[in-house]
């Protein structure tokens, strides 16, 4: 328990540390998918994301002129959600780059773009999850004071469920690495 408090104290200190923690939580979440099937890791990484959203809502750091979205709680939550989603998809979709190596002389230059651009785009769904989690009353922000933890978790779970469903259905969908797949492995 002490180590979690130490990580939280470290993450409180700057926006980049919260981003790094969210990215790392997303990357570790991939261990719940095949071939590892370590689904209990989600019991650590999803609460870590929720806590990073809380810390982002409580933050009062100076904001860069070129990043006006950081002024609002919703913008900070979307940013943290995006970093989680980016880590999740970068480590979950690395294999897509292999297709560009079949004819590496012709298509090899596209590899870095495919391996970063697709996860960056898919991370927008996680950014929306973070933003929605902040906008619903009783969710992340100063409004959370006095709210029960059950309300927070239910709002977050609903946002994740809807966000993952939308990712699987919008624009013909992208059904890889849906969190529900983590629970399809035999116990």
143 falls in which pLDDT band (50, 70, 90)? low
pTM greater than the 0.75 cutoff: yes
Q: What is the reported pLDDT for 139?
A: 45
Does 87 have pLDDT greater than 90? yes
Q: What is the mean pLDDT of the chain?
A: 83
Q: Report d(CA 26, CA 39) in Å as an integer.
A: 13
Q: What's the pLDDT score for residue 122?
A: 94
pLDDT band per the 50, 70, 90 thresholds, residue 71: low
Average pLDDT over residues 37-44: 93
DSSP assignment of 5-69, as one string? Answer: HHHHHHHHT-HHHHHHHHHHHHHHHGGGSTTT--GGGHHHHHHHHHHHHHHHHH------TT-GG
Higher pLDDT, 71 or 78: 78
Give the DSSP H/E element, type plus range, for residue 180: none
Confidence at 8, pLDDT banded by 50, 70, 90:
confident
Pick the more confident residue, 64 or 5.
5
Q: Which pLDDT score, from 0 to 100, does residue 47 have?
A: 92
* pLDDT reported for residue 159: 93
Q: Find out whether 92 and 83 touch, Cβ atoms under 8 Å.
A: no
Quick one: pLDDT at residue 66?
55
* Domain count along the chain: 1
- For the cut 50, the answer to whether the pLDDT of residue 60 exceeds it is yes
173 CB contacts (<8 Å, ≥6 apart)?
Answer: 167
Q: In which domain, by residue range, is 159 found?
A: 2-184
Q: Report the alpha-carbon distance of residue 133 to residue 127 in Å, rounded.
A: 10
């Amino acid at each position: 328990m002490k180590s979690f408090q130490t990580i939280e104290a470290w993450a409180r200190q700057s926006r980049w540390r919260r981003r790094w923690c969210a990215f790392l939580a997303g990357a570790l979440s991939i261990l719940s998918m095949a071939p590892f099937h370590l689904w209990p890791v989600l019991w650590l990484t999803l609460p870590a994301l929720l806590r990073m959203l809380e810390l982002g809502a409580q933050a009062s750091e100076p904001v860069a002129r070129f990043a006006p979205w950081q002024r609002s709680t919703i913008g900070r939550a979307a940013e943290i959600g995006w970093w989680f989603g980016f880590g999740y998809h970068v480590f979950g979709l690395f294999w897509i780059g292999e297709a560009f190596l079949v004819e590496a002389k012709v298509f090899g230059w596209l590899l870095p773009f495919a391996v970063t651009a697709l996860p960056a785009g898919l991370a927008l769904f996680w950014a929306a999850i973070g933003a929605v989690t902040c906008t619903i009353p009783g969710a992340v922000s100063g409004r959370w004071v006095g709210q029960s933890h059950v309300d927070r978790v239910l709002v977050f779970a609903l946002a994740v469920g809807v966000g993952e469903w939308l990712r699987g259905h919008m624009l013909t969908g992208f059904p890889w690495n849906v969190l529900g797949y983590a629970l399809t492995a035999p116990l």
